[in-house]
Amino acid sequence: MSSASAVYLDHAATTPMVPAALEAMTAELVRTGNPNSLHASGRRARRVVEESRETIAQAIGCRPGEVVFTSGGTEADNLAVQGITAARTAADPRRRRLLASAIEHHAVLDTVEWLGRAGRAEIDLLPVDGTATLDLEALAERVHGDPASIAMISVMWANNEIGTLQPLGEIVALAAEHGIPVHADAVQALGAVPVDFAASGLDALALSGHKVGGPVGVGALVLRRDVDVVPLVHGGGQERDIRSGTVDAPAIAGFAAAVELAVKHQAEHAARLEQLRQRLVAGVRFAVPDAVLNGPADPDRRLPGVAHFSFPGCEGDSLLMLLDARGIECSTGSACSAGVPQPSHVLLAMGRADDEARSSLRFSLGHTSTERDVDALVAAIGPCVERARAAKG
């Protein structure tokens, strides 16, 4: 919780550390040793890092050597998108096209757009339907049209705003026909739905510690061994010479503990969140009958703990602050772009009008969420919507 009295409904932005992760990290914080040093303290720190790597690999279905530690999901996404594109273009100058969905997290979307502006890639943003699901026909048309020109495809496992799960199986199968690597941001998916790297057929996968009850400032890029990538950071050659820099052994220990726990309890955690979400959705719809629930209705096509609403006649940021004044914390979308009033690029890509895209809030549940939290939101949302509409006037 951000405070003792706050009702925290923004777990998709960050979730409290679980005790196991806090314990693992704290134990390492008081110990000295650079994992790259050859003496006893260094070897002990190296053992912590490698055992953590093995723990994460076992939890997500990959080889330990495929786990490349980073500072978080944003760096992992940047490393995948920039690094794979650069390597593919260097090997074959024809491979300049970079395909990504129009609803990617800004860690991917802004990176893709930067590569386009810098002249390092030709960008093709893929459309989605009204539920924020990738248009597979549009993807197939682009791939079959000129597959030799495509450097890579990047499509997130689960959308961070709406919660929509993307059809990665179909995407990977289509790309595999032409040997095109596929990267997915799985930051929101891990711990919420089953995530198995080997079974997915993906070439690269981004993870973040603080989304699953681990510490902030640590994550990983899971990268198949045969995928070439140009490093973003050069130096000591750590992490397969893909990500140089002294790794953060305490944070990695906490990250591994959180991942192991999140995967172990994923099914029961998802079932509990789905029940809370149903209670939240029913309550909000009763309190605000014209509220629009965004995303797929089918629970198999969305995250269990995310409920995204549009409130006609409201400004989302104003409604957020009204709820915040009553001790209820939520989000207008991605926390990484918060603070700058702007319409949701996800809703715009879904075909919503600008005012609709500005009228939305995301309520995201997590391991500390309770029925009392949901009921507090339901009690507050009606009066807050009325005030927000009156203010917009």
Catalytic residues: 336
State the DSSP code for 210: G
Q: Contact, 172 vs 201, CB < 8 A?
A: yes
Q: Contact, 10 vs 364, CB < 8 A?
A: yes
State the DSSP code for 86: H
Q: Contact, 196 vs 56, CB < 8 A?
A: no
Classified as helix, coil or strand, 339 is: coil
Q: Which residues pair with 206 in a beta bridge?
A: 185, 221
Q: What is the chain's alpha carbon radius of gyration, rounded to the nearest angstrom?
A: 21
Q: Alpha helices, DSSP H only, in the chain?
A: 19-29, 40-60, 73-91, 106-117, 136-145, 168-176, 197-200, 238-242, 249-264, 266-287, 316-325, 345-349, 354-357, 371-392
How many Cβ atoms sit within 10 Å of the Cβ of residue 296? Answer: 17
In terms of Cβ atoms closer than 10 Å to its own Cβ (0-12, 13-18, 19+), residue 277 is buried
How many whole angstroms separate alpha carbon 270 and alpha carbon 264? 12
> Which of 189, 218, 328, 257 lies closest to 48 in space, CA to CA?
257
How many whole angstroms separate alpha carbon 134 and alpha carbon 254? 34
Ordered DSSP codes for 34-53: -TT--SHHHHHHHHHHHHHH
Q: What angle do CA 135, 136, 139 make, to 5 degrees?
A: 95
How many whole angstroms separate alpha carbon 11 and alpha carbon 365? 6
Q: Contact, 133 vs 78, CB < 8 A?
A: no
